[in-house]
Chain A
């Protein structure tokens, strides 16, 4: 087994009296892809947001590349610079064109010169078939293109871990396919990823392991086929049943 890239140890998080994550422990090895599934409100998004320190945790620890990023005195900006995050609503910067969106972090956070950053970004855009969009503003792109740009924006700084939070939930089926195939390509290249999704077919395709979250706890963990075909807990059975009824499994 390769080295551990991300370790979440006994994580606990609540909003006031509302316990949203309870005693979560997960490890993510280098090049590994773990997929989080579960109903809305099960804690998937919150878990991802605690990892890039956008949410403060109540108890437990998170280690990134064996360094405790939840320790007192850790600069969150330095941590976030090593983690890529992509959100459901893209959140591209509307006043910047595609190239400027992608080069902002390399230039301002990682101190890369404008020329080098633009060369790298152009290369990346070419590789993923978006080269002709470099000078366009996000408003003019389709949702699928926007989300692919958002993924490249997170990718350009070569993060240790890529966190994808329901990145296809705001897209229609055709656009979902183009975003998912980009993610599958990243998996083939060995990107370490933690993905929250409602796309079970996709989970099956890219996940090394699937985690089922229910009310802030990991109820089941296993290979995609184990989780999706042989559920142990009644909660997972219910969840899969509901998906099947909705025609999404």
Chain B
């Protein structure tokens, strides 16, 4: 027998349809209202014309774009290299902090002190200390390059953050999993490697990616050491023209650079949430 939707179902679906149309209209009206208010407030401000010319000048945007873009190429390389090392060091520090072996006690102690210090220290201070302090030591075989020292500062700071995220993941794995691994005869290290870590990393991928997004934008801070990155290039142009548009160009480019990773993070988080709801873990 073929299925005929009951009158009850038809009525229920029509009601749902009406409700969703209603939501769309409400969302549209509220967005429009906010947009109008914003326009009136900003465009009606006494200094609006001046701000528009000094921050949003099409002429200066076009003329500074090539410089800023070539600076951004440096940021991109710094980001990728820093992300690579941050993930490695973050993982090592997290493993050191969660180890139980007595022989690793000093390592554990150092890792704890390290994360405490570098999570608390503003990145700008680390950059200044490393970027100007290290060359000040005048050791011949250590580089004076602002780019390299800036990247090292980024790696040092973000390794501490990432280590804490990974450590939280390791500690969030059910202890019964570790016990099951040991009961099979796996050693402590094998259990960590094959049972705990894969689950831990899966749990913390969204916050981990979030830290990487943050690292990407903070790569712009190496400009304080004089590295000619996107922000520094914008600053050079600005100093010549007294127009701030190049900064806005740099900002837009940075956002464009981080959007793929932020979208990916959101998508992954939603996917994991859905899986958890399906498994009834909520």
Contacts and interface: CB of A to CB of B under 8 A. Distances in A.
Nearest to A108: B190
B185 A81 contact: yes
Contacts of A54: 179, 182-183
Contact of A105 (B177, B185, B198): B185
B72 to A, nearest CB: 37
A89 interface: yes
B180 A80 contact: no
A54 B183 CA distance: 7
A85 B183 contact: yes
Interface string A144-173: 000000000110010000000000000000
A168 B92 CA distance: 40
Contacts of B185: 77-78, 80-82, 105, 109-110, 157
Interface magnitude class on chain A: 20 to 34
A85 B180 CA distance: 8
Nearest to B184: A105
Contact of B186 (A91, A92, A104, A139): A104
A185 to B, nearest CB: 22
A133 B184 CA distance: 21
A93 B183 contact: no
A80 B194 contact: no
Interface residues of B, number: 18
B279 A139 contact: yes
B199 interface: yes
Contact of A95 (B179, B182, B183, B199): B199
A52 interface: yes
B195 A93 contact: yes
A202 interface: no
A80 B184 contact: yes
Nearest to A78: B185
Contacts of A95: 198-199, 202
Interface string A14-48: 00000000000000000000000000000000000
- In order of increasing CB-CB distance, the 6 nearest A-B pairs are A81-B185, A91-B180, A105-B184, A85-B183, A109-B185, A80-B185
